[in-house]
Structure 1
Amino acid sequence: MVYNIKWIIPKLRNPTKLWNIASSITFVAVGIFSKFIIELLNKTRVHNKHILVRALNRKGNTPLITVSNHHSCFDDPGLWGSLNLKHLLCRRRMRWSLAAQDICFTNVWYSYFFMLGKCVPVIRGEGVYQEAINFCLEKLASGDWVHVFPEGKVNMLKENMRLKWGVGRLIMESPITPLVIPIYHLGMDKVLPNDPPYIIKAGKKVTMYYGDPIDFSGMVADLRANNATEMDARKAITDRIQDELLRLKTITEELHARF
C-alpha cells in the first residue's frame, strides 16, 4: 500500500511559526550530527569548498541549484556536514532537497521528519511535471537553494547513468536562471554502506569536489531564441550537467586514490 503524500506539499507551502521553529531545531540536530560523523568520526577532504561558501553568501535574488552523484542514503545530509556552522545551522540558507517518496515518506513520522528537514517528496515515474518539481520552481523563484540528485536513485554500482530531466526543467523554467554548482564525492557509501545492517562507520575516507559554477544563461537564451521544444531544452541542459559530473568524477577518483 502506497502512503498518501498529497497533503505534504500544501503543508510545506504554508508553514506556521511553530513549524519554522521545529524545522530550525531539526536542522541544528541533523547538522551537528552530520558534522560529527563527517569531520570527527571519519576523514574528509573537501576541494574548492569556497565555491559553495561564496554561493551561499550570494547577493540579490539569484537562485542556487547544486547537483551531485548519489552513492549512499547518507549523501544528504553528509555532504553538508563539512559546511561552516553559520551556514549549516541556518535553516533559511540551507537547501531544499528532492527526496524519494518511497524511501523517505513511507509513513507519517518519516514524512514529518523529512519535511522539517526541507525535503520534498518526488515520485519515481511521475515525470518532470509532478508537484515536487513545481514546488522547487516556486522556491527557485524566491531565490532559494535546491539540491538535486539527478541520477534519480542511489547509484550503488557507480555506473555512468543517464541523468533525469527534472533538473533541466528547473533550470529552463526558473524565472531567474539559477547558479548551478556540480559536486562529485566518493566514500560516502563506506560511511553508511548500502547493505544491512545500515550502521554508520568510522575511520573511512571521504573526498568531496566542488566544480566551478555552470552558467546556463547563454544556453537558455539560445534555446528560447531557437524555439527549442521543451524536451530538447531539458535534454540539452541535462546533458551539459552530465558532461560536467563525468569530468569531476575523473578528478575526484584521482584525488581519492591519493588520499
Structure 2
Amino acid sequence: MSFYDVLQRGDEFILKDRPGQSRIWNFFSQATCMAVVGGSKAILGLFYNVNVKGLDNLDHGLAKARAENRGFLTLMNHMSVCDDPFIWACLPWRYFLSLDDIRWGLAASNICFNSKASSTFFSLGKLFACERFGRGPFQGGLDALVRILSPDDTLDTDHIFQGTEKSIPVGSTLATDVRSFYSPRYTPPVLRYKTSWVHIFPEGYVCQLKPPHNNSMRFFRWGTARLILEPTVAPVVVPIFTDGFEKIVPEAKVDDVVDSVLPQGIGSTITVNIGKALDDRIIEAFRAEWRALCDKYHDKLHPNDLSFELKFGKEAEALRSRVCDYLREKVAQLRLENGFPPEDERLKSQKFWSEYTKTDGASAPDIQFVGYNWAVRAYQKNTKTYDEYGNEISK
C-alpha cells in the first residue's frame, strides 16, 4: 500500500530541481535526452557491435503497463559508468519520440548533483539524486520514484486510510490536507500523458570484477523493494542483463585522463538481454505481505506515513530482502543466458558485501575489482555521514 506522506514527499522532491507542469521544461528535457542518446548511438554504431535480445519483451511489458494503467520498472546490472546512457543507445529511436516513453532514474548526488549546472543537466535527463554511503532506502529520490510509478488517477483516500482503522478524526486539519491533496484541484508534479517508465541499477555502484568472477553482481539494495511494494498499483517489472559496456569504459582506466574519456575495446560486442515481464502473481504476493505489515505496524498517531517498524523492523527488512533476492535471481538468470558460468554464492549476500567493503577486500582476497570498489567511501568525494537510521550527522 501507499502512504500519503510518502507520495507528498515524492511530489516535493520531484519539484526540487524542476518546474511542475511545464511544457517548456518537457521540450528541453526530451531534447537533452535525445541529444545524449544520439551521441551514444553514434559511438556504438561506429566502434562496436550491438546485439539486443528480447526487444519484444520490452515492447510487451511497456504495452501491458500502459494498457493496465500501471507503472513500468526495468532493472539491470551495473558494469560501467557508461551503462546509462549507452543502454538506451541500443534501443530503436521509437522509444524516444515521446517524453513519456523516456525512462526516469537515479544518479549519485555526490557526482551528478554537486553544482547548479550539473543538477539542471541531470534533472533534464529525467534523473533524481540518490544519496549513498549510509543514507539508506528512505530518501527523497526513492520517494520520488514511488510517486512516479503511481499513476496520477490512482491517488485516492484508499491508499491513505487502508490499515489505519480510520484513525484520523473527521474534520481535522490533517484530514482536510489529505482531501486537498487528492481533490480535483490537486496538480501532479510532472506533465505526463501516459504512465511512466522507471529504470534503476539495484546494485547502487559499478561492479567490475576480475576473472573468474567477472560480470557478477553485488547484492540488490533494499530501496529497490520500495519500488515494488509502495506504488499505488503494482508496476510491470522487466529484468535486463548486459555485458560489453565494461569494455567501453574499463575501470582500470579511470585514473588516466585520456583513456577515461575515449572509448576503449574498439570492435567489442555489446549484448543486451531483456527478459520477460516478471510474474504478476509473485509481485502481488509480495505486496500482500506488505499490506499485512502495514496493518500490523501502522502508527495511529501518524497514520499517513511509514512507521518505525515499517522502515527498520525485522519483518519489513526481511520482506525487502526477499523481494531483492527474487529480482536479483531473475537478472542472474539472464546472465547465464549470456554464456557466463554460475556466480559465486557469496556475491548474493548483503552480509558478505558489507564485510568485504568494510575491510576493503581483505575479508575475501580471492575476489578482486578491476579498478576500485566504489562502495568504499574513501574513494569518493562530496559524501555525507549518516547514522544507522539515515539521519545526517553533523561534522
Aligned partner letter, 1:229:
E
Q: Confirm or deny: 8 A CA contact 1:69 1:149 kept in the other structure.
A: yes
Q: AA paired with 1:17?
A: R
Distance 1:39 1:253, change over 3 A: farther
| Aligned with residue 218 of structure 1, among 285, 294, 302 | 285
The letter for the 1-side match of 2:50 is: T
Residue 181, structure 1, aligned to residue 187, structure 2: no
Greater Cα radius of gyration, structure 1 or 2? 2
Q: Which one-letter code corresponds to 2:205 in the other structure? A: K
Asked if the contact 2:105/2:127 (under 8 Å) is kept, the reply is yes
2:90 equivalent to 1:26: no
Give the drift of 1:181. Answer: 0.7
Q: Which moved more, 1:135-144 or 1:32-41?
A: 32-41
- In structure 2, the CA distance between the partners of 1:211 and 1:137, relative to structure 1 (3 Å rule), is same
In terms of mean alpha carbon deviation, does 189-198 or 207-216 score higher?
189-198
Note the 1:196-207 alignment, pairs <5 A. Answer: 196=256, 197-198=259-260, 199-201=262-264, 202-207=266-271
Q: Structure 2 stretches of 5 or more lacking a match?
A: 1-11, 152-194, 210-214, 297-313, 342-395
Contact 2:13 2:140 in 1 (8 A): no
Tell me by how many angstroms 1:48 deviates: 0.6
Matches within 5 A, 1:226-241: 229-241=315-327
1:154 to 187, 206, 209: 206
Query: Which residue of 339, 346, 354 corresponds with 1:253?
Result: 339
1:68 aligns with 2:135: no
Contact 1:179-1:213 at 8 Å conserved across structures: yes
| Structure 1 residue 192 displacement after superposition | 2.5
CA 1:103–1:89: 2 relative to 1, 3 Å: farther
Determine the structure 2 residue equivalent to 1:84: 92
Q: 1:9 to 1:203 in 2, by over 3 A?
A: farther
Q: Distance in 1 between the 2:31 and 2:206 partners?
A: 27
Q: Distance in 2 between matches of 1:204 and 1:213?
A: 29
C-alpha distance in structure 2 between counterparts of 1:75 and 1:9, whole Å: 26
**1:3 matched residue in structure 2:** none
Aligned residues of 1:172 and 1:233 also touching (Cα < 8 A): no
1:40: how far off? 3.9
Q: Which amino acid aligns with 1:237?
A: V
Over residues 197-248 of structure 1, what are the superposed CA-to-partner deviations in whole Å (9 max), with x where a residue is unaligned?
A: 3112432211111112113123322453476932222111111011112222
Q: CA RMSD in A?
A: 2.3
- Letter matched to residue 208 of structure 1: V
CA distance, structure 2, for counterparts of residue 18 and residue 224 of structure 1: 39
Task: Quote the offset at 1:11 in angstroms.
Answer: 2.9
Deviations 1:161-204, CA, capped at 9 Å, x for gaps = 21100110110111111111111000001122332331124322
The residue aligned with 2:353 is none
Call closer, same or farther: CA 1:7–1:55 in 2, change over 3 Å. closer
Structure 1 regions of 5+ residues with no counterpart? Answer: 1-5
> 5 Å matches for 1:29-178?
29-57=35-63, 58-124=66-132, 125-142=134-151, 143-157=195-209, 158-178=215-235
**CA displacement at 1:253 relative to structure 2:** 3.1
In 2, are the aligned partners of 1:9 and 1:132 still within 8 Å (CA)? no
The alignment's TM-score, normalised by the length of structure 2, stands at: 0.59
Task: Please report how far the alpha carbon of residue 66 of structure 1 lies from its aligned counterpart in structure 2 after TM superposition.
Answer: 0.6
CA positional deviation for 1:8: 7.3
Structure 1 residues 253 and 103 mapped into 2: Cα distance closer, same or farther (>3 Å)?
farther
